[in-house]
Structure 1
Amino acid sequence: MSTPSAFPPLHTIKPTSTHTHTIIALHGRGSQGPEFAEELFEGQTFNRKDSPRALTELQMDEIHEWFDIYSLTDPSAREELQIEGLVDSVGLLQNLIRHERSLLDGDASRIILMGISQGCATALLAMLVGQHKLGGFIGLSGWMPFRAQIEEIGRKGAGKPVICAEEMAAFFETTFELEGPKPDVAVLSTPILLCHAADDEVVDIGLSRQARAAFEGLGVEVEWKEYRDGGHWINEPQDYDDTVAFLARETPEQRWR
């Protein structure tokens, strides 16, 4: 998969000290990298700590979406429309992950993939297509693309990661015509945090619950955080606290506060 030339340059926030980890964060539909970064860093944890500042953000083209989607109420409607954009966006992410690994001594466990809304859906698929266990995946107010097909993979694999990885490889190759290395079972051991607010008026929380169930069907453990309010954004301060705690636990050698 190659990186499409239509993508603009990355919005990158440089580390304030030694580069030990990279967070690749994807904005939602209708947003942009700089806008998402500014809004993200305005939030604070319960102890009024600023958010982690070691971030690479991506932004799409002029319509600011990662892939075409027919319905946010039912993301499974006319899924064929999503394939072209997902192939391009996932290809971009795979190239970026390879680049960041080269800067981190080849250590994919020092890369965290994160996304909100449609950015979450895109990052989620990119993680499953990958060939390495990442340091973590953080999904906010999102959903799982092609969830029904991935749930079927879980049923065929009976929740056994090795079999599920083989089934996923066949699915991605057939549906997305992917070439190159197959998804490795190590991908399914990436730590996952999913967060969603019950009052989200854009992406129903039920879609995140379905994503969690699909992951669990693949034999993947998911840390699930459900908030009473927060809308289609990040519950403050609890979501920030939960995200920082997740990062601190999965990457204990790095200070996130």
Structure 2
Amino acid sequence: MSRPPIEIETAPNPTASVILMHGLGADGNDFVPIAGELDLSAVGPVRFVFPNAPVIPVTLNGGYQMPAWFDIAATDFNVQEDAAGLRRSQATIEAVIANEKARGIAADRIVVAGFSQGCAMALLTGLRHTERLGGIVGLSGWLPLAASTAAERHAANHDTPVFLGHGRQDPMVPIARALQSRDALAALGYTVEWHEYAMAHSVCMEEVADLNDFLLRVLR
């Protein structure tokens, strides 16, 4: 990471953690407001962790350097996936998860989440993690390295609840791509809670409410 993660605790001595990865060109600050919009008091103190992606050249944007979890070469995310970049960032998120465990948070009280590129990282990392997590959340994104998921996924997270939310008018990551990801996960036997909204490439209050309900259930 280019900078340490941003952390917000809802109260001292957290007993659960939500790790939320931002999208392309943003940073950890992008989703800090969501910590104030969610009410997870029923599950006890929660630590929100907002990692910062490294600054790298992005091919799709003419090689311009910006925060990105991995390079994107084409608008078709199935083409020329940056497998090396994805796996480097996977190792970064694994280190964040390990740090939460070292601070006393049980794996099944950790949720990995992300928006857009961050969604890709949440799915990539969460499905392959070697201990059962509390949940996996993907907002306005897609399943990366889909062809290798079946071989690389870990049985520990086969039953981990997955929340996917997407905008029907998303011009950046078309909803058809997200539906393909949903169906690929369902075909592998995952329980996917699917939500779609009348929005573009963003987050709406209805989605925040649905996410709040999901987190209350998986962290209860």
Q: Quickly name the TM-score band, shorter chain normalised.
A: 0.7 to 0.9
Deviation at 1:14, TM superposition (A): 2.7
Task: Normalising by structure 1, report the TM-score.
Answer: 0.74
CA contact (8 A) 2:16 2:46 kept: no
Superposition deviation, residue 59 in structure 1: 0.9
Question: Which structure would you say has the larger Rg?
Answer: 1
CA distance in 2 between counterparts of 1:103 and 1:214 reads: 34
Instruction: Provide closer, same or farther for how the CA distance between residues 18 and 149 of structure 1 changes in structure 2, counting only shifts above 3 A.
Output: closer
Q: Using the alignment, how far apart are the partners of 1:129 and 1:55 within structure 2?
A: 21
3-state SS of 1:216 partner: helix
TM-score for the superposition, normalised by structure 2: 0.86
1:186 to 147, 151, 156: 156
Task: Name the % identity.
Answer: 33
Which letter maps to 1:198? R
Residue 79 of structure 2: aligned partner: 77
Q: Deviations over 1:191-212 (max 9, x none)?
A: 1110001011111111111111
For the aligned residue pairs, the C-alpha RMSD in angstroms reads 2.0
* Partners of 1:146 and 1:206 in 2: CA distance: 17
Cα distance between partner residues in 2 of 1:219 and 1:35: 32
In 2, Cα distance between equivalents of 1:44 and 1:98? 24
Matched, 1:118 2:117: yes
Q: Does 1:223 align with 2:216?
A: no
Runs of at least 5 residues in structure 1 that lack an aligned partner in the other structure: 1-5, 46-51, 154-166, 169-182, 253-257
For the residues of structure 2 that align with 1:188 and 1:225, how far apart are their CA atoms? 20
Q: How many residues align?
A: 205
SS of alignment partner, residue 189 of structure 2: coil
* Cα gap change, 1:92 to 1:234, in 2 (>3 Å): same
Higher RCO (Cα < 8 Å, 6 or more apart): 1
Q: CA 1:112 to 1:147, structure 2 compared with 1: closer, same or farther past 3 Å? A: same
Work out which of the residue numbers 9, 12, 18 in structure 2 matches 1:14: 9
Query: Which ranges of structure 2 fall in alignment gaps of 5 or more residues?
Result: 40-44, 56-65
2:107/2:131 contact within 8 Å kept: yes
Against the structure 1 CA distance between its residues 84 and 131, is the aligned structure 2 distance closer, same or farther, given a 3 Å change threshold? same
Amino acid at match of 1:75: F
Contact 2:8/2:35 (CA < 8 Å) preserved in 1?
Answer: no
**Pairwise CA distance, 1:71:** 1.9
Tell me which residue corresponds to 1:146: 145
Which residue matches 2:51?
A: 58
> Could you tell me how far apart the structure 2 residues matched to 1:59 and 1:214 are?
28
Q: CA deviation at 1:185?
A: 0.7
